[in-house]
Amino acid sequence: MKSRPQVVVDWGHQCDSAPVIVDVEEFHEKWVNWWGSSQPKWRSVESWPFPRNDAKGEDWDRLNITGQHGLFAVVMSMSWWAASMNLDPHRAAFDAAVANLQWVIENLVDFNSQLQVTRAEPNVTLTNHFPGHRERDAGKHRIKPSSKVCGKP
């Protein structure tokens, strides 16, 4: 599994202000690899931009993670990418990433709505792409408290 871009890892550990992406092309490549490795196994991610096929009834647990180390980190990293773009050639890759993330979020909303309707418990497994903040305990989800709170001394 490909790891998160180092700038995302550093932000998660240090809770610093938004970093500036110096090499936008390198960040794009690392972000796409990270995003691809975070996708559910059923989703084909062999070429960029990733396809956005019908996902009704598919399992989204792998991306259904809240908090600083979940989908929030993906959204934050995209905001840094957007703020760091100064050339049009990078715009197409960024727009593709935004469209892909929007499609995933819309499908996560549908997935969670169906869980509420059926009162089904998602099949949560431990994953390493958003490490250490979600665990399974007797059929209940618990978010582990972070040892560091952003903005607090």
At residue 134, φ and ψ (nearest 5 deg) are -140, 135
Longest dimension (CA), the chain: 51
| Average pLDDT value for the chain | 77
What is the residue type of 128? N
Nearest in space to 122 (alpha carbons), one of 52, 36, 63, 80: 63
Q: Which residues contact 95 (CB under 8 A, 6 or more apart)?
A: none
| Segments in the chain below pLDDT 50 | 1, 124-149, 151-153
Q: What is the pLDDT of residue 100?
A: 95
**Cβ proximity of 36 and 2 under 8 Å:** yes
